[in-house]
């Protein structure tokens, strides 16, 4: 099977191709898992606006997404989230050890160009 190249236009096809949930019996469950991207974005927007971080909830969403998308999760996250959120996403991915070494985020940005969020690091160290 040929792997679909990830882009905004092919996101759903890419997600479906990499989706591995043996207990999934309907599209409703697939859609439910995809909604986790929106939930994470909403939590990060709240963090940027108010400083309130729901780190455990974000971690739970990321772990559940990684369980069904495996390594495909990382490119999907960086595609779905604007560059304003990359610092926060990268911090969580590094903490969970989901980010491969020398990862190319986009055609022009290497993961080393994106810094970690110090506040999130401090919160995650307390877990």
pLDDT digits (tens, 9 = 90+) for 39-74: 999 999 999 999 999 999 999 999 999 999 999 999
CA-closest candidate to residue 33, choices 76, 94, 81 = 76
Residue 114 pLDDT > 90: no
Read off the pTM: 0.91
Domains in the chain: boundaries: 11-19+26-125
Q: Is 69 exposed, middle or buried (CB count within 10 Å of its CB: 0-12, 13-18, 19+)?
A: buried
Return the pLDDT at 123. Answer: 96
pLDDT digits (tens, 9 = 90+) for 7-43: 999 999 999 999 998 887 789 999 999 999 999 999 9
Query: In the predicted model, is pLDDT for residue 104 greater than 70?
Result: no
């Amino acid at each position: 099977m040929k792997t679909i190249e990830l882009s905004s236009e092919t996101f759903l096809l890419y997600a479906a191709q990499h989706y591995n949930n043996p207990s999934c019996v309907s599209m409703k469950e697939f859609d439910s898992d995809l909604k986790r991207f929106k939930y994470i974005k909403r939590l990060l927007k709240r963090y940027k606006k108010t400083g309130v971080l729901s780190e455990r909830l974000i971690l739970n969403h990321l772990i559940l997404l990684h369980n069904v998308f495996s390594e495909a999760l990382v490119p999907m996250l960086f595609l779905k989230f604007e560059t304003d959120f990359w610092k926060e996403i990268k911090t969580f991915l590094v903490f969970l050890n989901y980010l491969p070494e020398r990862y190319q985020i986009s055609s022009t940005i290497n993961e080393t160009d994106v810094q970690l969020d110090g506040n999130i690091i401090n919160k995650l160290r307390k877990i």
